[in-house]
Amino acid sequence: MVAGPPGSGKSTVGPRLAERLGVPFRDSDDDIVLRTGRTIADIFATDGEPTFRALEESVIAEALTEHGGVLSVGGGAVLSTATRERLRGHPVVFLNIGFAAGVRRVGLSTARPLLAGVNPRATYKSLLEARLPVYREVATIEVATDDRTPDEIVTVIAAELSKNLENTK
Ligand SMILES: Nc1ncnc2c1ncn2[C@@H]1O[C@H](COP(=O)(O)OP(=O)(O)O)[C@@H](O)[C@H]1O
Ligand SMILES: O=C(O)C1=C[C@@H](OP(=O)(O)O)[C@@H](O)[C@H](O)C1
Ligand SMILES: [Mg+2]
């Protein structure tokens, strides 16, 4: 699984990592859109965050049982205790990102409803701080992404994954 804050590159790096490993790719946000036929922004605006989080838990639980490849998840997915429990035993990559680079990457897009409020920079800053320990708790691999291209990040992850595999032999 690939986890980390919005803008860390989960949806960009995940498919490239899957390609490099020769396995299929899924993204929990895409799975929610496929299942509901609605956008993430619409689900947040119409039904509220708790409905979105329940859908997110459900598509991740499904992917963890039926999907044998790389799964990128939304930035808030690991806040769920049930999801964290389901992740035990799975390799989890934490894509880390600093505030400045993260703000540049998420930009002014309205696709992320949590960052569409009055002060998105302050929201993003507190989100990074509050979630950092949670990402670290679930991660088996942590990669700083600020000054790396997606392909460089994939190379680092692939090397770490094979190192971890060697250690379990
Ligand atoms: N390593 C990187 N360097 C520069 N830009 C990146 C990198 N990874 C992702 N991006 C860009 O940042 C934005 C957010 O990436 P995305 O994969 O959607 O992040 P996430 O899924 O973690 O929210 C996109 O515009 C993407 O092209
Ligand atoms: O951080 C979050 O709580 C969210 C991150 C988004 O995904 P990305 O992290 O891929 O942007 C998306 O799941 C939703 O807008 C909520
Ligand atoms: Mg994403």
Taking the C-alpha atoms of residue 107 and residue 165, their distance in angstroms, rounded to an integer, is 37
Ligand of minimum distance to the alpha carbon of 77: 2
Rounded to 5 degrees, φ, ψ at 72 are: -90, 140
Mean pLDDT of 1-20: 97
pLDDT at 28 over 90: yes
Please, what is the average pLDDT of the chain?
Answer: 94
Residue located nearest, by CA, to atom 24 of ligand 1: 105
Under the banding of pLDDT at 50, 70 and 90, the label for residue 119 is confident
Cβ of residue 74 lying under 6 Å from some atom of ligand 2 = yes
Residues of the chain above pLDDT 70, percent: 97
pLDDT at 80 over 80: yes
State residue 108's pLDDT score.
Answer: 64
Under the banding of pLDDT at 50, 70 and 90, the label for residue 169 is low
Q: Alpha carbon of 7 to those of 15, 23, 65, 158, 167: distances in Å?
A: 15, 24, 27, 21, 31
State residue 109's pLDDT score.
Answer: 67
- Per the model's pLDDT, the better-predicted residue between 114 and 94 turns out to be 94
pLDDT at 35 over 70: yes
Taking the C-alpha atoms of residue 140 and residue 91, their distance in angstroms, rounded to an integer, is 6
pLDDT at 94 over 80: yes
Cβ of residue 9 lying under 6 Å from some atom of ligand 1 = yes
**Ligand 2 atom at minimal distance to the Cα of residue 72:** 10
pLDDT at 133 over 70: yes
Over the range 64-86, which residues count as b (16 or more CB within 10 Å of their CB) and which as e? Answer: eeeeeebbbbbbbbbebeebeeb
Query: Residue 23 CB: number of other CB atoms within 10 A?
Result: 12
168 CA distance to ligand 3 middle (Å)? 30
pLDDT at 155 over 90: yes
Taking the C-alpha atoms of residue 126 and residue 144, their distance in angstroms, rounded to an integer, is 19
